[in-house]
Amino acid sequence: MTQINLLPWREQARKNKKIRFGLTIAATLSLALFCTLIAHLYLQMLITMQQQRNAYLQTQLSQEQTILSMLNKKKQEQTTINSELHFIMSLRQENYQAIRLFDTLVRVIPEGISINKIARDGNNIVLLGKAQSNLQITLLMKNIAKTLVFKQPELTEITGRESNVGETRNFQIKVQLEEQA
């Protein structure tokens, strides 16, 4: 005889398939959610690390800017000090030139000549004086030309005048100072 199976095995198989399908979808969704969560945490960790690097770089940058501003300030101070030092050295050089000028004048002025006025404009010097003869003026110009302090003596004016002491000559000589290193 034939046996009849009354169990709804097809319906049961469909139900099992649905349950397996639901479990597969749930497992897939859980796995996708887990992977998304892991990816999110990993990216969040990378973002946090990058923010820490950025913060470190910002602090280093601000420290370097502070150091740079201090260096610029020191450079300005150094420039100021150098300009003041240069000014002091130029004053010293000018004082030295004045001393050399007078020392040399004492040596080159022959007897019988008196210098009444010395005017200086930069490196140009004008000597106004009196002499007893033209020969003394010529000797003065030769002596000036021989020195290392003066260059290019130029007689710009000479006038003669009778006085109770004898004849005197008023003269004006222009000379230039040699540049000193």
* pLDDT tens column, 160-174: 876 666 678 899 999
What is the per-residue pLDDT for 77? 96
CA distance 120 to 178: 13
Model confidence pLDDT, tens digit, residues 4-53:
766 677 888 899 999 999 999 999 999 999 999 999 999 999 999 999 99
* CA within 13 Å, CB half, 106: 5
Closest by Cα among 110, 124, 122, 119 to 152: 124
pTM: 0.52
- Rounded to whole angstroms, the Cα distance separating 169 from 141 reads 14
The answer to whether the CB of 154 falls within 8 A of the CB of 173 is: yes
pLDDT at 6: 65
158: confidence class by pLDDT, cuts 50, 70, 90: confident
Report how far residue 73's alpha carbon sits from residue 144's, in angstroms, rounded to the nearest whole number.
50
Yes or no: domain 89-177 corresponds to CATH 3.40.630.40: no
The rounded distance, in Å, linking the Cα atoms of 168 and 160 is 6
More confident residue, 115 or 6: 115
**With contact defined as beta carbons under 8 Å apart, do 127 and 115 qualify?**
yes
Cα separation, 132 vs 170, whole angstroms? 9
Rounded average pLDDT over 89-106: 82
What pLDDT score does 165 carry? 63
Q: In angstroms, rounded to a whole number, what is the distance separating the alpha carbons of residues 21 and 6? A: 26
